[in-house]
């Protein structure tokens, strides 16, 4: 249980919630507990809400991702066709996937090198000879692109001279001896300074990543078959750089060719670039997105005995409050239209307050109750520069209380925030930061 003194927290009079850390208070039944902000929420469609100084926050890996097809893995996408009927702005399920791109093959090759030459040597070589490691990676990349299911001849990967020389100095014997001691029968040493990999050896490097992709596509297709939004999968598109691989194409065709038509478009490696350019020219091509995460902030609510845990209890001026409540902005898998805005109103609790910080949290699930729940993490902050509010002497009264209306747009490729002082109708500088977390 936590207790607080009046001077430590700023509670609004006869209010049911209050912001603790930054001194903001509210006029509804919830409060921004860890930010000192309070407010109410409304939804609206179209535009950015009230004009204000705009902040942008690119979500990166955790960001909103638009799609007309269902995302498959890192560089693979499965396209689905929906039965006639749903309106055109209904989006397919949110993107899904994992670390199943071509980098997985590179990691498998590195693991093979570690098995042959030793983990300690590879780690030391990467640290002390980074340029030579890049040369080795480029050499393997060329061989990786040449791999095909029908290939019968070995694939030669050139080892940089610095690799051969560094290994001899580090171990006291040559590379050929290391290969012989490793008992890796599918990789041989060539006198021309190359690792000669058999087709079977290269196939083994591909199999873990391809296996994950096949498994994920199968699970996603099964999910879509039971979905109320998408029925009748007729086409499966392979797009992205890894989709150029004949190894992947053959595996996907063998696994799903009897269920749907597998299509590899022209210039498949440029698909992501073309999509970005099309969206830049006309953002309307993606009218609805699915939120990949649940976003919200931490608030205080009235403590309810039997509902809230005792460790969340905060006693303030004789009233009981529950801390760390997760107040949602957008839920995971929720459809968000282009231009859709969440609005919240905040009031400073102290006269002359010039700045406040709001912490944003995210989660992979929708059943979040507290910001301390497993899987909940801080992903960003909103900063409001309040500036001079005019009549600071009336800031704490109901009549003169200053209200800042913040509008957060979730329907674009990045989260944007604008803010307006409703008393003066002037813009408030608002910034959003997802890079410092």
Tens digit of each residue's pLDDT (9 = 90 or more) over 183-215: 888 999 988 889 999 999 999 999 999 999 999
Indicate the pLDDT class of residue 91, thresholds 50, 70 and 90. low
In this structure, the dihedral spanned by the alpha carbons of residues 214, 208, 96 and 232, taken in order and rounded to 10 degrees, is 0
CA distance 41 to 405: 10
| Nearest alpha carbon to residue 21 among 379, 353, 394, 393 | 353
| Nearest alpha carbon to residue 392 among 431, 415, 424 | 424
With contact defined as beta carbons under 8 Å apart, do 215 and 242 qualify? no
Mean pLDDT within 309-327: 86
Residue for token digits 């199999």? 207
Over the stretch 252-265, which tens digit does the pLDDT of each residue have?
Answer: 999 999 988 999 98
179: pLDDT strictly greater than 70: yes
Amino acid 401: pLDDT: 63
Provide, for the chain, the percentages of residues in helix, strand and coil under a 3-state DSSP scheme, each rounded to the nearest 5.
30, 30, 45
The DSSP secondary structure of 236-288, one letter per residue, reads: EE--SGGGG-HHHHHHHHHHHTTTSEEE--TTGGGHHHHHHHHHHH-GGG--E
Amino acid 230: pLDDT: 66
Q: Bigger pLDDT: 3 or 111?
A: 111
The DSSP secondary structure of 156-173, one letter per residue, reads: EEEPPHHHHHHHHHHHSS
Amino acid 34: pLDDT: 39
Amino acid 434: pLDDT: 79
With contact defined as beta carbons under 8 Å apart, do 421 and 354 qualify? no
Long-range interactions of 205-208: CB distance < 8 A, separation 24+? 205/105, 205/108, 205/109, 205/112, 205/144, 206/105, 206/108, 206/147, 206/245, 206/247, 206/248, 208/104, 208/108
| Nearest alpha carbon to residue 197 among 208, 207, 186, 184 | 186
Amino acid 68: pLDDT: 33
In this structure, the dihedral spanned by the alpha carbons of residues 13, 18, 24 and 28, taken in order and rounded to 10 degrees, is -80
Q: Bigger pLDDT: 286 or 22?
A: 286
250: pLDDT strictly greater than 60: yes
| Nearest alpha carbon to residue 289 among 412, 427, 415 | 412
Amino acid 229: pLDDT: 62
Structure tokens at 133: 């490691």
Over the stretch 211-231, which tens digit does the pLDDT of each residue have?
Answer: 999 999 988 888 777 766 666
Q: What are the backbone dihedrals phi and psi of residue 42, each rounded to the nearest 5 degrees, phi first?
A: -135, 155
pTM above 0.85, yes or no: no
CA distance 318 to 4: 10
* DSSP symbol at 9: -
Indicate the pLDDT class of residue 145, thresholds 50, 70 and 90. very high
Share of the chain above pLDDT 70, in %: 72
Beta bridge partners of residue 330, listed in sequence order:
295
Question: In the chain, where are the structural domains located?
Answer: 2-62+291-433, 68-288
Amino acid 39: pLDDT: 40
Indicate the pLDDT class of residue 12, thresholds 50, 70 and 90. very low
Amino acid 70: pLDDT: 32
7: pLDDT strictly greater than 50: no
Amino acid 157: pLDDT: 94
69: pLDDT strictly greater than 50: no
């Amino acid at each position: 249980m936590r207790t607080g003194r009046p001077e430590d927290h700023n509670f609004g009079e006869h209010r049911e919630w209050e912001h603790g850390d930054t001194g903001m208070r509210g006029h509804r039944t919830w409060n921004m507990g860890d930010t000192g902000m309070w407010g109410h929420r409304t939804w609206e469609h179209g535009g950015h809400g009230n004009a204000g100084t705009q902040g942008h926050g690119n979500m990166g890996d955790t960001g909103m991702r638009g799609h007309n097809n269902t995302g498959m893995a890192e560089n693979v996408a499965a396209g689905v066709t929906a039965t006639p009927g749903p309106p055109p702005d209904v989006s397919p399920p949110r993107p899904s996937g994992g670390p199943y791109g071509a980098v997985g093959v590179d990691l498998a090759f590195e693991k093979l090198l570690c098995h042959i030459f030793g983990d300690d040597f590879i780690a030391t070589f990467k640290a002390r000879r980074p340029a030579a490691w890049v040369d080795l990676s480029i050499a393997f990349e060329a061989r990786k692109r040449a791999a095909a299911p029908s290939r019968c001849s070995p694939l030669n990967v050139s080892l940089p001279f610095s690799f051969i020389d560094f290994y001899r100095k580090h171990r006291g014997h040559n590379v050929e001896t290391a290969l012989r001691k490793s008992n890796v029968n599918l990789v041989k040493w060539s006198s021309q300074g190359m690792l000669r990999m058999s087709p079977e050896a290269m196939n083994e490097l591909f199999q873990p990543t391809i296996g994950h992709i096949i498994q994920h596509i199968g699970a996603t297709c099964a999910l879509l078959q039971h979905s109320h939004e998408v029925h009748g999968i007729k086409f499966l598109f392979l797009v992205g750089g890894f989709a150029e691989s004949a190894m992947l194409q053959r595996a996907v065709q063998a696994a799903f060719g009897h269920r749907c038509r597998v299509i590899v478009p022209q210039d498949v490696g440029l698909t992501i670039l073309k999509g970005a350019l099309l969206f830049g020219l006309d953002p309307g091509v993606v009218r609805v997105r699915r939120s990949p995460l649940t976003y919200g902030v931490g608030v205080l609510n009235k403590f309810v005995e039997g509902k809230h845990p005792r460790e969340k209890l905060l006693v303030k001026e004789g009233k009981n409050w529950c801390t760390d409540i997760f107040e949602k902005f957008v839920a995971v898998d929720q459809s968000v239209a282009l231009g859709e805005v969440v609005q919240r109103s905040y009031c400073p609790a102290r006269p002359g307050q010039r700045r406040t910080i709001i912490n944003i949290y995210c989660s992979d699930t929708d059943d979040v109750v507290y910001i301390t729940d497993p899987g909940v993490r801080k992903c960003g902050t909103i900063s409001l520069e309040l500036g001079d509010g005019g009549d600071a002497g009336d800031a704490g009264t109901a009549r003169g209380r200053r209200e800042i209306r913040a509008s957060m747009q979730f329907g674009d490729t990045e989260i944007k925030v604008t803010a307006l002082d409703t008393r003066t109708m002037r813009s408030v500088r608002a910034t959003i930061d997802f890079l410092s977390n």
